[in-house]
Amino acid sequence: MDAPGPFEEHEVDLHGHRAAYRVAGSGPPIVLIHGMVNSSRHWEAVAMRLARSYQVIAPDLIGHGGSATPRGDYSLGAHAASIRDLLATLGVERATIVGHSLGGGVAMQFFYQFPQRTERLVLVSSGGLGPEVSPLLRGAALPGSALLLRLATQPRLVDAIADAGTRLRRRGAVNGVHLQAVARALRPLQGPGARRAFLETLRAVIDRQGQRVSARERLYLLSEMPTMIVWGERDRTIPLEHGLAARDAIPGCRFELLPRAAHFPNLEDPAGLADVLADFVATTIPARIDDEDWGSLLAHRARATMRQVA
């Protein structure tokens, strides 16, 4: 098979705003949705492996990467709708939807809003499965954090954090990985528009008590959807227990643990993540859910709940 082309950035106009995305390969479509303060380029090592057999589409969420940073709606539903519109613009009717961290919440919302367009669902160290989250993210959601964020994203400070992380990693210290992740998260936020978009996105899903948006009560809707959950064994941002509990709540859910990864498997173990994604897609039959099927899922749940109450 020919090698896939470069993972180049493209852009389209969606509702008057720039929407950036990357695409590579050909074949059944796989959509890769990045997490907070990441962008499509952070999927490159995974995407180029998958692009040998699939068409890989990685959007930049609004407010991230090369996409516009307008004042407006940064909710999970708004992000999901933007991805639907991008796929429609590209002529992609249905796809396997993969989401990492915040992108996992967007992926679940995409499935919930557009089940007819979803063939499979993969959640990678996903948000939206429980309240717990790292203290750093809870703190960033507090009032008054905008000034602190502006100070924390000064280039000299970010460079110093990254250098310290590199030195610690060379010595084998685990904290080095975390410092590098902090620097990686801060770099894209050096512009005022990016900082505002980050805070609006963050506050849509997190407050001082933790994650404020949960999909747990709707996981039963995935009973007819091929679903896989992937988690980094060393994740300290979102607890592994969230993924394990979701696995138990989703009938037939596949679960994969990546020992080499923390919260960013797409960067920390891209080969391992690409392997489990490729195997999952190759060994499952894509779902086809229409409005009648969706109604049956909801009605079945309602009947079961009524029997429990009775």
For residue 126, tell me if it sits in a domain: yes
Domain containing 35 equals 9-132+211-309
Residue (of 140, 179, 139) closest to 160 by Cα position = 179
| Marked catalytic residue, from 39, 64, 235, 269 | 235
**What's residue 141's pLDDT?**
87
For residue 261, tell me if it sits in a domain: yes
| Marked catalytic residue, from 39, 40, 67, 101 | 101
For residue 162, tell me if it sits in a domain: no
| Cα gap 218→244, rounded to integer Å | 16
Active site residue 235: yes
For residue 247, tell me if it sits in a domain: yes
The burial class, CB within 10 Å (0-12 / 13-18 / 19+), for 198 is buried
Query: Total structural domains in the chain?
Result: 1
**What's residue 137's pLDDT?**
87
For residue 181, tell me if it sits in a domain: no
**What's residue 309's pLDDT?**
45
DSSP characters for 139-155?
HHTSTTHHHHHHHHT-H
**What's residue 302's pLDDT?**
58
For residue 282, tell me if it sits in a domain: yes
DSSP characters for 17-28?
EEEEEEEE--SS
**What's residue 230's pLDDT?**
98
Active site residue 101: yes
For residue 62, tell me if it sits in a domain: yes
**What's residue 282's pLDDT?**
98
Give me the CATH number covering residue 280.
3.40.50.1820
For residue 158, tell me if it sits in a domain: no
Blockwise average pLDDT, block size 10, the chain, 310 residues:
76 96 97 94 97 97 94 94 98 98 98 97 97 89 84 88 88 78 81 88 92 92 96 95 97 96 94 98 95 78 56
